Structure 1
Amino acid sequence: MTDTLTRQVRFLLEADKLKEVVRLNQLSGGSRRETTAEHCWHVILQTLTLADHAGDGTDISHVVRLLAVHDLVEIDAGDHWVTNDNRAEIKVREQAAAERVFSLLPPDQALDFRNLWLEFEACETPEARFANAMDALHPMVLVFASGLDDPTHEPMSAADLRRTKEARLAPFPGLWDYARDLLDQAVRDGRLLP
């Protein structure tokens, strides 16, 4: 086996660990919490399904590439709520994870994947903005569109979630309107505090 293939397989085996990273939100059926690998697959499928909400000229295949690598850092850093109190610490942990995980690849691929991750994090390109919107919407769809009463959101109110999600979803008015409707319905149903 060539060194390139050996490194690529080592990376793929490391990425398989995403199947063991348990996220904070439940599956839409409520039977258990989802894994990061499940989230990555489902948010990519969601993106392909909701692609008509992306701005004109947005390269959906590039959005999919961003989403395929964006959570690889959770192998080391885990899934977490990002708050003003922990934002800096999480950023340091995720950057260290990115360096370690992507360094498993051959140098050119490592640079490509790391750049995809950095692009997603910077949220400046049309593709990164849509990828971030998809990532922000996904747990809301699992929890609130399913009608699930998920204790993950107990410490947060609808107002907290609006503040957390608005920057990433508001550039896509149809998606932002839908997200706000989900939160309003969750409040009306007593599943979320106002």
Structure 2
Amino acid sequence: MTNDAEHSWHLATMVVVLAEHSDRPIDVGHTVQLVLLHDLVEIYAGDTPLYDSAAGGDQQERESAAADELFGLLPADQGRRMRALWDEFEERRTPEAAFAKAMDRLQPLLLNWMARGGTWRTPGVTADDVRARKAVIGEASASLWQAGQRLIDEGEARGWSRRAEPH
């Protein structure tokens, strides 16, 4: 696993390196701003583990309040601009925001793969849960999602994540 600074650096670097895999043209500089501001708010609000459904219940409210407080510390014009960038990321309404979100989900997928499962081994998490949480990658890049699915499938085959139990 990485700390918040490493995660942010990874995301910014991934945007620069992987931008050519976006299904739609993106402004790389704008996308880098989105990933960096997104993480500032998460750090301020307290990050919510992806596979912790209970903690995720109030995540949107906590992060929105943190964004208000954090960006409220800035001069009004700068605060409004930063808040608009954060809102854009959260709403994924632009190609840049969709790709930024995809990078935010791809980076930990790669780390979990390298850690032979990592958080995929969290009690109750199945390979299907991983696929569902990571599917947002496909909204921005079919090729990166295809690669991600191969990693998830191989992790499942190697026993790094559990298969879903039949109902």
Q: Same fold (TM over 0.5)?
A: yes
Query: Contact 2:120–2:130 at 8 Å: present in 1 too?
Result: no
SS of residue matched to 2:39: coil
Structure 1 unmatched runs, 5+: 1-25, 27-33
Larger of the two Rg values belongs to structure: 1
Deviates more, 1:152-161 or 1:78-87: 78-87
Of Structure 1 and Structure 2, the greater strand share is in 1
Matches within 5 A, 1:77-156: 77-82=45-50, 85-144=54-113, 146-151=114-119, 153-155=121-123, 156=125
Pair 1:180 & 2:162 matched: no
Query: Contact 2:89–2:101 at 8 Å: present in 1 too?
Result: yes
Query: Contact 1:75–1:97 at 8 Å: present in 2 too?
Result: no
Gap change, CA 1:116 and 1:153, over 3 Å in 2: farther
Pair 1:68 & 2:9 matched: no
Match of 1:52 in 2: 20
SS of residue matched to 1:75: helix
- 1:143 Cα deviation from its structure 2 partner: 1.6
Give the AA of the match of 2:15: T
Residue 137 of structure 2: which of 169, 172, 185 is its match? 169
Give the AA of the match of 1:78: G
Of Structure 1 and Structure 2, the greater helix share is in 2
Structure 2 unmatched runs, 5+: none
Distance 2:157 2:126 in 1: 13
Deviates more, 1:184-193 or 1:83-92: 83-92
Pair 1:39 & 2:11 matched: no
Corresponding pairs, count = 160
Give the AA of the match of 1:110: G
Percent sequence identity is 38
SS of residue matched to 1:57: coil
